């Protein structure tokens, strides 16, 4: 079963998907995101502030495993 964290605040905001099965917790998304969308909780990367996402796609491009998808 795929465990995907999805967050969408409303229809005008991008939807941020983080596939926990693909994520290796390298924290590249945390370092890359200019808006602080991701954070670390108990050694696991999570989507913490999807409402701050500006859909710049920096995290998608930087993720080495393709665990992140941002849908506008």
Q: Residues 55, 69: contact at Cβ < 8 Å?
A: no
pLDDT at 44: 95
Q: How many other β-carbons are positioned within 10 Å of the β-carbon of residue 28? A: 20
Per-residue pLDDT band at 12 (split at 50, 70, 90)? confident
Per-residue pLDDT band at 11 (split at 50, 70, 90)? low
State how far the Cα of 19 lies from the Cα of 11, in Å rounded to an integer.
Answer: 21
User: Residue 46 is part of a domain; what is its CATH number?
Assistant: 3.30.70.20
Number of domains present in the structure of the chain: 1
Q: Find the mean pLDDT for residues 3-28.
A: 79
Residue 38 domain boundaries: 4-71
């Amino acid at each position: 079963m795929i465990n995907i964290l999805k967050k969408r605040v409303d229809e005008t905001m991008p939807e941020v998907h983080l596939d926990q099965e693909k994520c290796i917790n390298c924290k590249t998304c945390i370092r890359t995101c200019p808006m602080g969308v991701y954070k670390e909780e108990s050694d696991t990367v999570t989507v913490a502030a999807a409402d701050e996402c500006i859909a710049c796609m920096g995290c998608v491009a930087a993720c080495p495993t393709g665990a992140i998808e941002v849908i506008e």
